[in-house]
Amino acid sequence: MSGSIPPDLRGRRARDPFLVAVSTLFTGVQRVRSLRAPVVPRARPVDRTLRLVVQEVRREAADVVALRLAAPDGRVLPGWQPGSHLDVLLPSGRRRQYSLCGDPGDRRTYRIAVRLLPDGAGGSAEAHRLSEGAEVPVLAPRNAFPFLARDRYLFIAGGIGITPILPMVQAADRLGADWRLVYTGRTRASLPFLDDLAALPSGRVRIRADDEHGVPDGAGLLRGAAADAAVYCCGPAPMIDGVRAAFAPGGGATLHYERFAPAPIVDGVPFEVVLGRGGPALAVPADRSALDVIRERRPDVAYSCRQGFCGTCRVGVLDGDVDQRAASDQGDGSMLICVSRGKGGRLTLDL
Ligand code: FES
């Protein structure tokens, strides 16, 4: 529409007062509208949940099952890299992380493996009860243990720690890198995925069972590593701690590891947590996490990784000074109670 005022309704050139009033009102409305902030559609949170089903259950060792997951309609799944994991949402609502241990080139299935923990309860027991056809929501793959391109590798896996390492070994072999794998465990029968490893050059794989050779130390596991090797290590905490203590950086060598259990608490001091304003106060010793202590009183408190990266255990802090120990702590009045702690006084949590 032109901004000029038309002749009056009878065709005269003089400006008609009625049309002038209508035009002025219209222009005013346009101006007010143009001053309003543009309406921006609110971004919806991205739902990363994939609703998968168990396509295959396979026993890989006495206490280890491998689950192959697929979309019900067989569609292509999000890609992943060696070292990635899935967050699996178990029927009870528990959320657990499991490393992807299949072939990243297979875009229609994911493979994970779960070792049944000795107490026979919790997430591992639930995962062992999943049968073929069961629905399993998962979050799309994430990678907290990236596999870097290098010429030489030493891989060290202990027991179920083979799960992130296996796709790395296979990738290193495909890439023509110079690699070695040391795979340890209580007995040969306790070691999953020996069949998969049998397909690799046998001279590069050393299976080392404790009942044949004794429990290895860190220096023994690192023996023979090239001076510029990338060392990738996953397994029980004592094994990782031994490798870390014996590893000598320099000459281009690098050490990369992933824990399945929380790291020991270093330089912790005792403190108290108060569960909500006016709630009970619980004593947290220097060598225990707030999460462990709180769960004795409130077993419903959610957690998953217990290592400060998944965010499941984040709670609001109502009062007190926090010793923030997680890389993802946000300084926003909340804390991850699996790793972050009090500074010695009282912490009142929004629980
Ligand atoms: S349980 Fe994962 S961050 Fe605390």
Ligand 1 center from residue 29 Cα (angstroms): 54
C-alpha of 92 from chain center: 19
End residue of a domain, out of 107, 122, 143:
143
| Structure confidence at residue 119 as a pLDDT band (50, 70, 90) | low
For residue 96, the SS3 value is strand
Distance between first and last Cα of the chain: 61
> From the CB of 166, is ligand 1 less than 6 Å away?
no
pLDDT tens for each residue of 242-285: 999 999 887 889 999 988 767 778 888 999 999 999 899 999 99
CATH number, domain of 194, equals: 3.40.50.80
Q: Which domain holds residue 292?
A: 271-349
Q: What is the pLDDT of residue 7?
A: 44
pLDDT at residue 120 greater than cutoff 70: no
Q: What is the CA radius of gyration of the chain?
A: 29
Are residues 336 and 279 both part of a single domain?
yes
- The residues facing 271 across adjacent strands are 284
Q: Give the closest residue (by CA) to ligand 1 atom 3.
A: 308
Over pLDDT 90: what percentage of the chain?
Answer: 65
We report the CATH number of the domain holding residue 114 as 2.40.30.10
Domain final position from 214, 238, 259 = 259
Average pLDDT over residues 223-237: 93
Rounded to an integer, the average pLDDT of 184-199 is 96
- 242 with 282, same domain: the answer is no
Number of domains in the chain: 3
**Residue whose pair of structure tokens reads 């790793």 in the numeric block:** 339
Any atom of ligand 1 within 6 Å of the Cβ of 306? yes
- In a domain, residue 172? The reply is yes
| Number of C-beta neighbours around residue 284 at 10 A | 22
Q: Are residues 157 and 255 in the same domain?
A: yes
Residues 167 and 234 in one domain: yes
C-beta of residue 88 within 8 angstroms of C-beta of residue 96: yes
Is residue 40 one of the residues assigned to a domain?
no
CB burial of 102-136 (b: ≥16 within 10 Å; e: otherwise) equals bebeeeebbbbbbbbeeeeeebbebbbebeeeeeb
Final residue in a domain of this structure, among 89, 119, 143: 143
d(CA 137, CA 52): 6
Q: How many CA atoms lie within 13 A of 164 on its CB side?
A: 27
With 50 as the cut, is the pLDDT of residue 2 above it?
no
pLDDT value for 301: 85
